[in-house]
Structure 1
Amino acid sequence: MLAASTRLISLAAFAAAAMLATNAHAQKKYDVGASDTEIKIGNIMPYSGPASSYAVIGKTEAAYFDKINAEGGINGRKIKFISYDDAYSPPKAIEQARKLVENDEVLFIFQALGTPSNSAIHKYMNTKKVPQLFVATGATKWGDPKNFPWTMGWQPNYQSEGRIYAKYILDHFPDAKIAVFWQNDDAGRDQVKGLRDGLGDKADKMIVADKSYEVSDPSVDSQIVALHDSGADTFFSWAAPKGSAQAIRKVGELGWHPRFFLANVSTSVAGVLKPAGLDNAKGIISSAYLKDPTDPAWKDDAGVKEWQAFMDKYYPDGDKLNNNNVYGYAVAQTMVQVLKQCGDNLTRENIMKQAANLKDFSSPVMLPGIKINTSPDDFFPIEQMQLMKFDGAAWHLFGDVITGEVGHTMTH
């Protein structure tokens, strides 16, 4: 009798266990590119061509995922990071995106770099319903969940940056006469729009001159001379690193001393300010949202030390003076947070859902007080920056963290 009842109990236990197992199995959801053991992530970087100085970002991200894998992966799954070169060429970007989605069958594409490349694959990714996540460009069009629900930016967008400078000028120099130098593309137009929107009804009165240039222009001297001759006392340079270096040098040669604002993408001391002449760059104002490892203020900072230890172990030949390596680290940490939030539901839909549900997330290398927040109708993760000034040797932060939110409903 006893044996029979024991057998009944063990059968019941077995049935219960089997039910639990099927439930657990039912909770796991995968799309192509995810399994019990692996998450496949695609990436496109300019490892060659005119923007190859940014390639270190892809290398830092690969190194960070190596670290995550060495520590056991995400919810037990290892990351397989597949990164291709597009040489900063839009047709090549399309080819690499197709290869990643259709041949490699990645779950999503993360941190493809550059406005032209991301613009080229924008429609393809959304038609295919494959996440184009945390793109490495600040164009404002990546925050348009209504029309492009599968695309999201990461860094502060160029319009936010323009608004932040406008706020500072209105507070401190309401009578400024502004000359604007900008790159004739989406990025440049976005920045000028942010500045104008931030200045509001004073924009037409305050902006006395503006000149654009093409990234391929060998020289920008004629534009800078014309802006100097406008009688402006405040100068904005919204240009890629090479154009910015040329502008800073020419302003110096003219003996012109305006209040000088420089785009956040061109603040590299090694890549922009040294070639322009450090003396010429003295007093320039820009903005930051990440800690600069060359700034003595962070010498004993725990977050920067953690990043340095990561560089030593996982990317030893990486340059610790290059802020792009801090950027790659912070954005990879954000990606890992999204994947952790996904749990065992690794569908493309859930990845976008979790990316749009980040609450006060911060990386240890982000400036204190700057938080990442997203929602289903807010695809702009970082909208705060702090101003900084160059003293001839290093950048120094000043003032409070400023928010430059752009309207969350975008029109095109």
Structure 2
Amino acid sequence: MRIHRAVRIWAVAVTGALVLAGCSGAGETPSGGSGNQPADSAPGVTDDTVVLGSHQPLTGPAAPGYSKISVAAQAMYRYINDNGGVNGRKIEYKVEDDAYNPTKTVEVVKKLVLEEQVFALVGGLGTPTHSKVLDYLNQEGVPDLLVSSGALMWDQPQKYPMTFGYQVDYLREGKIMGKYVKDSFAGKKVGLFFQGDDVGRDTQAGLDQFIKDQVVTRQPYDPANTDVTPQLLALKSSGAEVVVCACIPSFMALTLLTAAKIGFKPQFVSSSIGADPATLTALLQDFAKRSGATVSPDQLLAGFVGAGYLPRAALTDDPWVKFFKEIHDKYIPTEAFTDTLIFGMAQAYSVGQILKAAGRDLTRRKVVETLETTQLKGPGLVPFAYSKESHSGYTGAYLVRNNGNGTSSVVQQPMVTDRESGEVKPAGGDRVNPDQTGLLDK
């Protein structure tokens, strides 16, 4: 396989875009923030409409795969609207492209708030991007719902009362991956490869509760530098037999390519942010196509273990996957039906549940209070953590091995844990079906 040439040419092609996106760390927390509760106001709400907004990477280095999240969300909102809306209101969903550039994020979010007069921001994607508007949204009293990032900063109810996370946070996920590695690869040398910001720091904090004594090297990457060869060579020379990654999809794909180039064949374990096999397959194919190289994504992904907390597209018998597939087939049939598409639909469905529970008398304050006091049930295989004391999202994850032939196998059932030193335990509990949530009940 002419992988070396593929990596080199792809790195030149995307370095410029990544430099723009990597100007600030993904975990950089803005200072300030008033923490004031919002007035009982409802911009963006009419008798028959509620306007929601989001910033998404429709272009730029995070666009592969992630650009489809808003496409999937829009399909879900269309489905809800076609079935009567929520409490008599149709959802109007406005998406702005920030190209995964924090400076652009500030610009487009202010446009959504000041010009578009959105009622709430939903599913804003990315830690380096969303961290730049965290103070602003809370100062303006705009509900900041279901942030698409696992950073711990979203879970600060006293400082950021308007902000709620969505995906499992990196610390919890790190603990769950750490327990899996300890149980499955006892005594094996472990290398860590991670984004050099909150993504990596929080993930390591969780991993270290279980496998600190097994770790032989820790290698960070800078999103502005696409050459990860030095880190992969260091991982190889350390004798690491298992490599745990906390990488965005582009860097997870680049890691797999570079490992193959240098003849490094560890067991890879990935956090959920870089674990969607369909997204990785597309990236590997794209990198190869750009350089004229020949690679086999199935071979590169064989044995790859990734985390998740939503049902996978491959689970065709799952009632939620069936539901999402029906919506996909009706509204966006030309899109590939992937785990990333499921993320967008599931997140939008949860937004609908929040609006439903808030009732017809809709205000910004009421939405926040509703999310703090309502137990959302639905697509996820683990529960949410929402309460007055916690604005964290999903509380756990499962782990799946890619078999390299288009199939996968669960290697660790859904587990839950806390952000401290509590145990990692089976998720348990009942999981409702789509027709049991009451979202579209009249």
Structure with more contact order per residue of length (Cα contacts < 8 Å, sep ≥ 6): 2
The residue identity in structure 2 corresponding to 1:157 is D
- Report how far residue 390 of structure 1 moved: 1.1
Q: 1:285 corresponds to which residue?
A: 305
Matched residue of 2:131: which SS? helix
1:345 aligns with 2:361: yes
Q: Which residue of 1 aligns with 2:226?
A: 218
Residue of structure 2 in register with 1:24 after alignment: none
Determine helix, strand or coil for the equivalent of 1:217: coil
1: CA distance, partners of 2:417 / 2:256: 26
Structure 1 residue matching 2:68: 3-state secondary structure: helix
Task: Measure how far apart 1:279 and its partner are.
Answer: 1.7
The amino acid across from 2:260 in the alignment is G
Amino acid at match of 1:396: S
Contact 1:361-1:373 within 8 A present in 2 as well: no
Q: What's 2:22 paired with? A: none
Cα shift at 1:301: 3.1
How far, CA to CA, are the matches of 1:76 and 1:61 in structure 2?
A: 20
TM-score (norm 2): 0.79
User: TM-score, with normalisation over the residues of structure 1?
Assistant: 0.84
Match of 2:19 in 1: none
* Structure 1 residues 35-74: Cα deviation after superposition (integer angstroms, max 9, x where no partner): 3222111111111222122121111111211111111111
The aligned amino acid for 2:323 is E
8 A Cα contact 2:190 2:240, kept in partner: yes
Pick the structure with greater CA Rg: 1
Choose the corresponding residue for 1:309, options 323, 326, 340.
326
In structure 1, runs of 5+ residues without a counterpart are 1-28
| Partner-residue secondary structure (3-state), 2:355 | helix
Q: What CA RMSD, in Å, does the superposition of the two structures yield over aligned residues?
A: 2.0
* SS in structure 1 of the partner of residue 47 of structure 2: coil
* Aligned equivalent of 1:164, options 167, 176, 186: 176
Report the residue type matching 2:45 in the other structure. A
Give the direction of change, closer, same or farther, for the CA distance of 1:65–1:273 in structure 2 (3 Å limit).
closer
Q: Secondary structure at the match of 1:306?
A: helix
Q: Are the counterparts in 1 of residues 60 and 99 from structure 2 also a CA contact under 8 Å?
A: yes
Contact 2:278 2:339 (C-alpha < 8 Å) held by counterparts: no
Q: Distance in 2 between matches of 1:358 and 1:254?
A: 51
Note the alpha carbon deviations across 1:214-250, whole angstroms, 9 max, x for none. Answer: 1122321111111111122221122222221122233
More deviation, 142-151/170-179: 170-179
Structure 1 counterpart SS, 2:325: helix
- 1:332 paired residue number: 348
The residue that corresponds to 1:259 in the other structure is 267
Residues 31 and 135 from structure 1, CA distance in 2 versus in 1: closer, same or farther, beyond 3 angstroms?
Answer: same
Q: Distance in 1 between matches of 2:164 and 2:197?
A: 20
Alignment partners' CA distance in 1, 2:103 and 2:59: 15
| Post-superposition offset of 1:300 | 3.1
Q: SS at the partner of 2:368?
A: helix
Contact 1:215–1:240, Cα closer than 8 Å, also in 2: no
Query: Aligned partners of 1:213 and 1:280: how far apart in 2?
Result: 21
Aligned to 1:95: 107
Work out the CA distance in 2 between the residues paired with 1:373 and 1:185: 24
Residue 84 (structure 1) aligns with: 96
1:251 Cα deviation (Å)? 2.8
Between the aligned partners of 1:73 and 1:104, the Cα distance in structure 2 is: 20
Give 1 or 2: higher helix fraction.
Answer: 1
Hey, what does 2:130 align to over in structure 1? 118
- SS across alignment from 1:120: coil
Alignment map for 1:342-381 (pairs within 5 Å): 342-359=358-375, 361-363=377-379, 366-367=380-381, 370-381=382-393
Alpha-carbon deviation of 1:111? Answer: 0.8
The residue type equivalent to 2:88 in the other structure is: G
Q: For 1:187 and 1:142, locate their aligned partners in 2 and report how far apart those are by CA, in whole Å.
A: 13
Contact 1:45-1:113 within 8 A present in 2 as well = yes
* Equivalences for residues 139-218 of structure 1 within 5 A: 139-196=151-208, 198-199=209-210, 203=212, 205-218=213-226
Give the AA of the match of 1:343: G
Contact (CA 8 Å) 1:184, 1:214: kept in 2 or not? yes
| Aligned length in residues | 368
The answer for unaligned runs of 5 or more in structure 2 is: 1-39, 285-294, 422-442
Q: Equivalent pairs: percent with the same residue?
A: 29
Matched residues in 1 for 2:334 and 2:261: separation? 37
Task: Say whether the 8 Å CA contact 1:358–1:372 is kept in structure 2.
Answer: no
